[in-house]
Amino acid sequence: MQGAEFWKSKITESLKNAYIEKPEDADYSHLYDAAAETLRGILAEKYSTSAARHSSRGEKRVYYMSMEFLMGRSLRNNLHNLGYTKDFEKAIKSFGADPELVYAQEPDAGLGNGDLGRLAACFLDGLATIGKPAMGYSICYEYGIFRQKLTEGWQTEKPDDWLPGGKAWLAEKREHAVEVRFGGEIEESWYDGFHQILHKNYDSVLAVPYDMYVPGFEGNDVSRLRLWQAESSGIDMELFNRGLYAEAMRKNSEAKAISSILYPNDNHPDGKTLRLKQQYFLVCSSIADIVRRHLAAYGTLENLAEKAAIHINDTHPTMAIPELMRILLDECGYSWEKSADICFNLFSYTNHTVLPEALERWDCGMFRWLLPRVYGIICEFDRRLRITLREKGFSDAEISRMAIVENGEIRMANLCVFATHSTNGVSEHHLTVMENSVFADLYRAFPERFSSVTNGIAARRWLCAANPELTKFVKKYSAKDFEKNYEKMYLLEKHANDSAVLEELGKVKLKRKEIFAKANRDVMGNKLDPSSLFDVQAKRLHEYKRQHMNALRIISLLNEIEANPNADIDPKTFIFGAKAAPGYYVAKRIIRLIWCIGKELSESALKDRLKLCFLENYSVTTSEMLMPAADISEQISLAGTEASGTGNMKLMLSGAVTLGTLDGANVEILREVGEENFLRFGMNSDEVDALRLRGYDPMEYIEKNDELKAALDRMRHGIAGEDFSDLADLIEGKDFYMAAADFESYMDIQRKAQELFRDKETWNRMALMNIAKSPVFFVDRTVQEYCDRIWNM
């Protein structure tokens, strides 16, 4: 059976089995369940065919380890990649139902904080599309990234209980469960010439895998994401028999706690024991799984690095290295040199942040208590690194800066650089920043290990599934098969001077703005105006991303119009989406500030000219709605702070023009589109460094700029009745991310943007050029580079 009939019969059958009901009587959540179940079955089958094909050819496989995979929804995307969308929607309509409402049933799999997790998710799509065998490993958090609730602009966090709707995509594989051990003591002895390690008095936890399948475009290959859930390894009968029931139960719930919740911090480690347990839980179970698979295929670990590549997504899964060392040394009896050599060739690492406070360090005392054997192995790596560095002629001071274990702490990034063959940045600019700042010493010691691969996005999700209107346009003016041969999108460029085509593109954008406006309202519930300029800043809230600088700019516009109602300011809609880490107070204050500005705008006489919309609970799904509607993409981090960004790429692909600094991947976006299609402002990272060196005083800038001074004064006197002196103090005091220094240039470029937006043809041409030049930022290119240069596949 084929086409819509196939879907009709599958959904009918599934509803009959699960709920004894007919499709016509089923509610939307049941229709969603039936659709997901059907698709999961198809994917499981496709996965096993594709895995068998790769194995029979003895192909090398990549294992991508990450504490985060921000998958979002699956139904629409999977249907799209498999080419089933039309038939599926036809079947749903034949039941008298609306496919959009079926899609809307699905919760986001929000197993990540932001870009790092979303990148991992895009990688699985890209790897399956280019036909490389890939497995992701992560944790099956019971609660993903919190749901953000805004009450009068104050963020509160609600638990994200995603599994009831999300488990439809998960296949339990209990037969591959693994025991993970914590605590206890290590006893060493020599027996028969062999070094014996005995681990005693440990606590054990069971890791049970749940698999999620991710199809590539056209569905021939499927990646697998294996998510581990923690269970207690059974009631402790010894405690139970002694009548210590509460103690027996406590161990049970301590085990489950490991996979209960995603840490909501982004760029800020909190050093808690539970987080360390989560990390070890992930790597111990995943390494055991990889070893089991490899032994089943080859019967030895000698050739592990030839047949597998393991990638460490930021330092969070670094313990995978000492964990595999433990197996090679203690269980296989290999020498240190041989084991370390296997690890060196097998592992590679990507760094995703250069903020010094975000680099992971663990307290030795806690670490040793929780993971005694892994700790011992890390100390041996440290000892050998010091010897290597001494041989290379580094001084004691330099060695202590580069050491792995120092000042009672373990530095995970240093272990990665030393123990793996490849340390990567996520954009060209990021690599330069790494080499000049946090990794400067290690770069001098091991320059050949450093490289960068610029991030990418799954265009199938962010263009084809999310924006059918633009997809149709791209197909019409570039090539029908651009999804497979994405370079063909460059063909769009030849229409850059065709007024009719540009006008058509303008209409597509307007349509998407209308759709967005219909679904969203401003801060006070008023309708948005699709003809106004949609100015979008959507990303995690962090001072380095400078949402507060954007806020200062809007306050300035408010001041300007109040002083002169005829001021030259066109209608604008400021759209923000951002979650703050729950413990990050300043970030929460900035959200409140933005919300208060929106309130003040909506209550003033300007409410038809300037509107502010703060999207609650910004997520993969809300961003799929938002990106297609954007005119301007605000990428305004202080140069040298944003490693890459991928939101900038999604917005570019959607025809938004980047207004940004020379930071992260913006640098490459600018190179692709050219100065005339990019709104550049601000200091570059050399200027930032020079200014810091000279001694930065924000007051020097504030005193010279009346607009900025007035905006700060207004914060002190109250926005919508609330005093924001606390935030004004931060800007006038340290202004760590130099908003004051870049403010003037930011205002200038905003004025230029308004002028360009007035001329519709010019603007549409800029949009077209951004779309046409976006293919280099597709994840297929990114993963291909990883395969060629890093994983040697």
Residues that bind ligand 26W (CB under 6 A): 113-116, 119, 265-269, 314, 352-353, 358, 360, 426, 455, 642-646, 664
Nearer to ligand 26W, 267 or 550 (CB): 267
Token digits of residue 426: 């996520």
Residue 214 has φ and ψ, to the nearest 5°, of: -125, 110
Give the shortest CB-396-to-ligand 26W separation in angstroms.
30
Q: How many CA atoms lie within 13 A of 445 on its CB side?
A: 24
CB of 632 to ligand 26W, least distance (A): 19
641 is catalytic: no
Using only C-alpha atoms, the chain has a radius of gyration, in whole angstroms, of 27
> 679 pairs with which residues across the strands?
659
Cβ at position 199, least distance to ligand 26W in Å: 27
- Alpha carbons 753 and 759: distance in angstroms, whole number: 10
What the block records as the tokens of 562 is 């109040």
**Close Cβ partners of 190 (under 8 Å, ≥ 6 residues apart):** 196
The smaller minimum CB distance to ligand 26W, of residues 119 and 124, is found at 119
Q: At its nearest, how many Å lie between ligand 26W and the CB of residue 272?
A: 10
Min CB(646)–ligand 26W separation in Å:
5
Nearer to ligand 26W, 224 or 540 (CB): 540
User: Between residues 422 and 644, which has the closer beta carbon with respect to ligand 26W?
Assistant: 644
- In whole angstroms, what is the distance from residue 695 CA to residue 653 CA? 39
588 belongs to the catalytic site: no
Helix, strand or coil for residue 638? coil
User: For residue 683, what are the contacts with CB-CB under 8 A and spacing of at least 6?
Assistant: 638, 639, 661, 691, 738, 741, 742
Q: In whole angstroms, how far apart are CA 181 and each of 200, 207, 322, 570? A: 10, 10, 14, 62
Which tokens in the block code for residue 50?
């594709």
Instruction: Tell me which residue of 384, 373, 398 sits closest to 344, measured CA to CA.
Output: 384
* Structure tokens, 322: 């000492």
Instruction: Determine which one of 353, 471, 622, 646 is catalytic.
Output: 646
How far CA 484 is from CA of 253, 292, 475, 756, in Å, comes to 48, 35, 12, 34
Q: How far is the CB of 665 from ligand 26W (least distance, A)?
A: 7
Q: Kindly tell me which of 660 and 664 has the beta carbon lying closer to ligand 26W.
A: 664
The one catalytic residue in 10, 326, 352, 609 is 352
Q: Is 362 helix (H, G, I), strand (E, B) or coil?
A: strand
* Catalytic-labelled residue, pool 277, 411, 542, 545: 545
Q: Which is closer to ligand 26W, CB of 433 or CB of 533?
A: 433
For the record, the structure tokens of 166 come out as 């999300």
Among the options 650, 714, 765, 781, which is catalytic?
Answer: 650
Nearer Cβ to ligand 26W (11/116) = 116
- Is the Cβ of residue 267 or residue 573 nearer to ligand 26W in the bound state? 267
Minimal distance in Å, beta carbon 673 to ligand 26W?
19
DSSP conformation letters of 468-514: HHHHHHHHHHS-TTTTTSGGGGGGGGGGTT-HHHHHHHHHHHHHHHH
- CB closer to ligand 26W out of 426 and 445: 426
Token duo for residue 652: 């570019």
Q: Which of 373, 430, 540, 589 is labelled catalytic? A: 540
Q: Kindly state the smallest distance separating residue 264's Cβ from ligand 26W, in Å.
A: 9
SS3 percent helix, strand, coil of the chain, rounded to 5, is 55, 15, 30
Residue number, 92 or 354, with CB nearest to ligand 26W? 354
| Strand, coil or helix: 261 | strand
157 versus 493: smaller Cβ distance to ligand 26W: 157
Active site residue 539: yes
Shortest CB 713 distance to ligand 26W, Å: 33
Instruction: In the chain, count H helices and then E strands.
Output: 34, 25
Closest distance between ligand 26W and the C-beta of residue 114, in Å?
A: 5
**C-beta of 312: minimal distance to ligand 26W in Å?**
12
Block residue for tokens 């946090």: 438
Is-catalytic flag, 607? no
Cα distances from 492 to residues 199, 281, 378, 567, 786, in angstroms, run: 63, 48, 53, 38, 28
**Could you tell me the smallest distance in angstroms from the CB atom of residue 783 to ligand 26W?**
13
DSSP string, 84-128: -HHHHHHHHHHTT--HHHHHTTPPPEEESSSHHHHHHHHHHHHHH
Cα distance between the two ends of the chain = 38
Q: For residue 465, which of 779, 98, 105, 77 has the smallest C-alpha distance? A: 77
Residues 6+ apart with CB under 8 A from 266: 113, 114, 540, 542, 581
Nearer to ligand 26W, 249 or 355 (CB): 355
18 C-beta neighbours (distance < 10 Å), count: 13
**Residues annotated as catalytic (active site), given as ranges:** 352, 539-540, 545, 646, 650
